[in-house]
Amino acid sequence: MTKILLIQGANMAWLGRRQPEIYGTVAAAELDRRLLAMAQARAIDLEILYTHLEGEAIARIYRAVDDGTLGLVMNPAGFSYGGHALRDCLLGCDSLPYIEVHLSNLGKRGIRSITAPAALGVIAGFGVECYVLALDAMRALLATRAKRE
């Protein structure tokens, strides 16, 4: 099974309750249920971590490099604005492929993500479908890398 870590950054635990006009009405628990079912169907071992603490996200990413996690998908959410330490962690962990996800289109909202330069790609603006797209993209990327090795 392909082991992928999904980190949901600051404020994402309130998904469905916080600013639904921007982030939608799907609750965090419902999103998790959908993603875990999708992951199982695609032979992905998916771990989901919600954290409001940048240091906790950083610690988990470093641990992922050492524990056999093959890819990272993350919605940095509130860390997008000032997560310089998180960005440095991501840049230092270049052996762990990273795809960034945002429910809304940040460019349309005039927001620039601090962590996006560390990502292989950014998927944004498609609501919760961004996670499905990101997991499928990560799975394809990892399959391509495995064929080369």
**Chain-centre distance for alpha carbon 26:** 17
Candidate list 50, 98, 102, 131, residue with the active-site label: 102
Strand order in the sheet with 98-102: 44-50, 2-10, 71-77, 98-102, 121-124
Is the pLDDT score of 149 beyond 90? Answer: no
How confident is residue 68, by pLDDT bands cut at 50, 70 and 90?
A: very high
Whether 23 sits among the annotated catalytic residues: the reply is yes
Candidate list 23, 50, 98, 131, residue with the active-site label: 23
Neighbour-count burial of 86, counting CB atoms closer than 10 A to its CB (0-12 exposed, 13-18 middle, 19+ buried):
buried
Neighbour-count burial of 80, counting CB atoms closer than 10 A to its CB (0-12 exposed, 13-18 middle, 19+ buried):
buried
Predicted TM-score (pTM) of the model is: 0.95
Domains of the chain, first to last: 2-148 (3.40.50.9100)
How confident is residue 47, by pLDDT bands cut at 50, 70 and 90?
A: very high
What is the tens place of the pLDDT at every residue in 21-32?
888 899 999 999
Instruction: Report the residue count for the chain.
Output: 149
Q: What integer is the mean pLDDT of 105-132? A: 94
The encoded tokens of residue 124 equal: 């944004």
pLDDT for position 39: 97
Q: What integer is the mean pLDDT of 130-148? A: 95
Is the pLDDT score of 110 beyond 90? Answer: no
Whether 98 sits among the annotated catalytic residues: the reply is no
